[in-house]
């Protein structure tokens, strides 16, 4: 049997205690890695905190990702762009600071700027506060071209009720339909702030199967795509252009 | 007078979901059953839920009498129709609050008999 590695690629960091509780709970539920997102201001503090938790004196202090017993923790930065120009400025300044860069979507111009930027890893919730799913064929094609993953956040389903929940499910279906046609990366995440928002990978899979995704597609979204983003970002600094990278002979 | 039980060939197939709940306040059995039904009805609708044949067979309260705990744990076994396990699982994971307090449902596993569900997921032998 193939051993699948499950990742939860969007946890919301708050303070050291709650972050540690989230990490421990995710580990208990069977995840192999998580990514915790902070705003730009909180990010440095979070890195210091992780260095203290891991308390490994042999590891260098400039680490951007951590490991506890094969459980990987990758802190990331979430950008809330006011307009496309502001967003691009933020991306340029923060890209080298972190391993994972996520853009909070919702506004159509922000969605487009994020999909067109190869430096962005994840576009989070393009459907947020919208009447449509926030993506069309043009944005989907750009997202696929630039390796920008589109996130479907479970906490949006969890925190909504009745008609709002059904609209979010409809947006999810629209995104899934576009994904099948244009083959951009899809990410299924929990968006958890507390341990009460986390679910086991099998529960998440069961829920998304109810929404119409196939088992292989779900596995791609919670296992393969996160692994690809992590690997891609480790090699990003060596990449000259897409398809060309500098190989260290040593 | 009690109806005679159907022969095994005419009985529907069942599966047993072992689950655990973690809540901020203690959770009585009646409320647990209400929440499971409510979630399934809301997510799948009346027509679909009628096929699930839900039944909470057993539950274990894992809290000692210490009322100062910040979370309360409960484990149980839920019987459902074979083939509809994923739908029930999907509905269960959408439960997130109880009387204004936070609550979470985790499915521990799936088994064909109550005995194996208990042995594998509720009280695993060392």
The model's pLDDT over A201-249, given as tens digits with 9 standing for 90+, comes to: 999 999 999 999 999 999 999 999 999 998 888 887 777 777 788 887 6
* Mutation choice for A interface testing from B80, B93, B99 by most A CBs within 10 A: B93
Superfamily of structural domain B14-121: Ribonuclease P, Pop5 subunit (3.30.70.3250)
Say how far apart CA B29 and CA B98 lie, in whole Å: 13
Among the partner residues A162, A197, A210, nearest to B87 by beta-carbon distance: A210
- Evaluated on CA atoms B6, B11, B16, B17, the torsion sign reads negative
Secondary-structure percent of chain A, ordered helix, strand, coil, rounded to 5: 50, 20, 35
* Beta strand pairing call for A100-104 and A122-124: parallel
Instruction: Establish if A169 touches chain B: CB-CB under 8 angstroms.
Output: no
Radius of gyration over every alpha carbon of chain A, rounded to an integer in angstroms: 17
| CB distance A8 to A34 below 8 Å | yes
Q: Which of A 55-114 lie inside 8 A of B, CB atoms?
A: none
Per-domain residue ranges of chain A = 7-245
Work out the average pLDDT over B89-113: 93
pLDDT band at A180 (very low <50, low <70, confident <90, very high): very high
Fold assignment, A7-245: TIM Barrel (3.20.20)
Helix (H) or strand (E) holding A12: strand A7-12
Nearest alpha carbon to residue A186 among A237, A224, A241, A130 = A224
Hey, are the CB atoms on A158 and B22 less than 8 Å from each other?
no
Q: What is the pLDDT of residues A110-132, one digit of tens each?
A: 999 999 999 999 999 999 988 88
Provide the 10 A C-beta neighbour count for residue A95.
17
Query: Which residues lie below 8 Å from residue B67, measured CB to CB, with a gap of 6+?
Result: none
Per-domain residue ranges of chain B = 14-121
Q: Which two tokens stand for residue B122?
A: 């509720």
Nearest alpha carbon to residue B14 among B98, B84, B94 = B84
Instruction: Establish if A163 touches chain B: CB-CB under 8 angstroms.
Output: no
Say how far apart CA A210 and CA A36 lie, in whole Å: 27
Please determine, for residue A13, whether its predicted confidence score (pLDDT) is greater than 90.
Answer: no
**Angle separating helix axes A201-210 and B85-92, nearest 10 degrees:** 110
Strand partners, A76: A37, A100
**By percentage, how much of chain B surpasses pLDDT 70?**
94
End-to-end CA distance of chain A: 36
| CB distance A160 to A132 below 8 Å | no
Cβ contacts from A onto B, under 8 A: 53
Hey, are the CB atoms on A158 and B96 less than 8 Å from each other?
yes
Q: Which two tokens stand for residue A75?
A: 């802190």
CA B10 to chain CA centroid, Å, is 24
pLDDT at A57: 53
pLDDT band at A49 (very low <50, low <70, confident <90, very high): confident
Instruction: Establish if A206 touches chain B: CB-CB under 8 angstroms.
Output: yes
Burial of A139 (0-12, 13-18, 19+ CB in 10 A): buried
Instruction: Establish if A18 touches chain B: CB-CB under 8 angstroms.
Output: no
pLDDT at A62: 53
Give one DSSP letter per residue of B50-95, joined into a string: TTT--EEEEEEE---S-TT-S-EEEEEEEEEETT-HHHHHHHHTT-
């Amino acid at each position: 049997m193939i051993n699948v590695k499950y990742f939860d690629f969007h946890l919301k960091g708050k303070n050291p205690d709650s972050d540690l509780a989230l990490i421990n709970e995710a580990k208990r539920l069977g995840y192999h890695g998580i990514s915790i997102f902070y705003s730009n201001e909180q990010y440095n503090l979070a890195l210091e905190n992780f260095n203290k938790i891991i308390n490994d004196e042999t590891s260098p202090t400039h680490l951007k990702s951590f490991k506890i017993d094969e459980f990987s923790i990758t802190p990331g930065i979430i950008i809330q762009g006011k307009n496309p120009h502001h967003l691009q400025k933020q991306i340029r300044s923060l890209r080298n600071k972190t391993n994972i860069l996520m853009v909070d979507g919702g506004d159509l111009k922000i969605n487009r700027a994020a999909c067109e930027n190869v430096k962005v890893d994840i576009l989070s919730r393009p459907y947020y506060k919208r009447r449509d799913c926030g993506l069309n064929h043009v944005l989907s094609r750009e997202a696929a071209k630039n390796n920008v993953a589109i996130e479907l956040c479970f906490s949006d389903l969890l925190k909504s009720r009745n008609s709002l929940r059904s609209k979010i499910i409809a947006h999810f279906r629209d995104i899934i339909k576009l994904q099948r046609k244009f083959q951009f990366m899809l990410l299924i995440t929990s968006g958890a702030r507390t341990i009460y928002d986390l679910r086991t990978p099998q529960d998440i899979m069961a829920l998304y199967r109810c929404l119409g995704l196939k088992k292989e597609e779900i596995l791609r979204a919670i296992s393969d795509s996160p692994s690809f983003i992590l690997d891609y970002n480790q090699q990003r600094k060596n990449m000259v252009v897409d398809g060309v990278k500098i190989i260290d002979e040593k | 007078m009690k109806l005679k039980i159907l022969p095994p060939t005419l009985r529907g197939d069942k599966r047993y979901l072992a689950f655990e709940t973690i809540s901020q306040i203690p959770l009585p059995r009646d409320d647990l059953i209400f929440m499971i039904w409510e979630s399934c009805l809301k997510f799948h609708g009346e027509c679909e839920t009628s096929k699930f044949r839900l039944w909470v067979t057993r539950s274990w309260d894992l809290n000692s009498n210490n009322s100062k705990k910040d979370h309360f744990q409960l484990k149980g076994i839920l019987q459902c129709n074979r083939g509809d396990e994923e739908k029930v699982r999907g509905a269960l994971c959408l439960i997130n609050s109880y009387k204004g307090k936070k609550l979470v449902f985790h499915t521990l596993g799936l088994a064909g008999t109550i005995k194996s569900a208990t042995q594998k997921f509720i009280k695993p032998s060392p």
